[in-house]
Amino acid sequence: MDIQLNFINNSNDANNSEIVIFQKNVATNFDELAVAWKVIRYCGQGDNHPFTFPMEMTVAASDSYGNYTPQLPAQNGQLFSMSLTTSGDRLVASGSGTSSTEVQVLNALPKGAINANIYKDGNLLATKTSVAPQQKALFQFKPTIWIGVASQVVEGKVMNSAIISSVNTELSLLGIASADIVLTGGGPGRDSSPFQFNLENVVMG
């Protein structure tokens, strides 16, 4: 079931800051750079920005020749393989993966690296680049989103580590059907309070 969220700007920020929302791929051990899944811009004081956070996700891959596969519906526990067929490189569902909590993408090509991508709501959510033949890209997401105030972030692009490390608000969406995400704080001068994001008017699913 999709989660209906509504961002509300109740902050004192007058800098036209951007709000970035993303998920972290927790299937990898090292700090992988996250993708800016959604960027909310020009949402003024008192304005709100409704959006949907779908439970469904899709997977796609691109090869070293610049070809992109169609997006396929993906669920945790599924394995997908990028294989060479008579009609070229194709991404196909290949049964169950080795973990019920991950979406796994295997590079089954004889040669050439691939990039594996996960999408939500048509927007890039996570990417794993330069997956070598016979290697797997692993994707696992907790039912949480990360949200922060940022600048110079581009929706669908990998963020630099400085931006990611500056975002420290993680909101759990577990069991939620709809909620407001309310931003407070900010403002000019030394007396300004830090930005805070809080879930309000939460309706459980």
Mean per-residue pLDDT over the chain, rounded: 94
Q: pLDDT value at position 30?
A: 63
Q: pLDDT value at position 46?
A: 95
**Given the structure tokens 């995400």, which residue do they identify?**
181
3-state SS class at 164: helix
Please state, as a whole number, how many other Cβ atoms lie within 10 Å of the Cβ of residue 120. Answer: 20
Does the pLDDT of residue 9 top 70, yes or no? yes
Q: pLDDT value at position 140?
A: 97
Under DSSP, the state recorded for 165 is H
Nearest-angstrom CA–CA distance, 40 and 21: 8
pLDDT single digits (tens) 114-131: 999 999 999 999 999 999
Please state, as a whole number, how many other Cβ atoms lie within 10 Å of the Cβ of residue 153. Answer: 19
Q: pLDDT value at position 188?
A: 81
- Domains of the chain, start order: 3-54+142-204 (2.60.40), 57-138 (no CATH)
Does the pLDDT of residue 13 top 90, yes or no? no
Q: pLDDT value at position 31?
A: 64
pTM (two decimals): 0.94
Nearest-angstrom CA–CA distance, 103 and 139: 5
Nearest-angstrom CA–CA distance, 158 and 176: 27
CA distances from 52 to 6, 118, 147, 187 (A): 8, 17, 15, 28
Does the pLDDT of residue 86 top 70, yes or no? yes
pLDDT single digits (tens) 31-70: 678 999 999 999 999 999 999 999 999 999 999 999 999 9
Q: pLDDT value at position 72?
A: 98
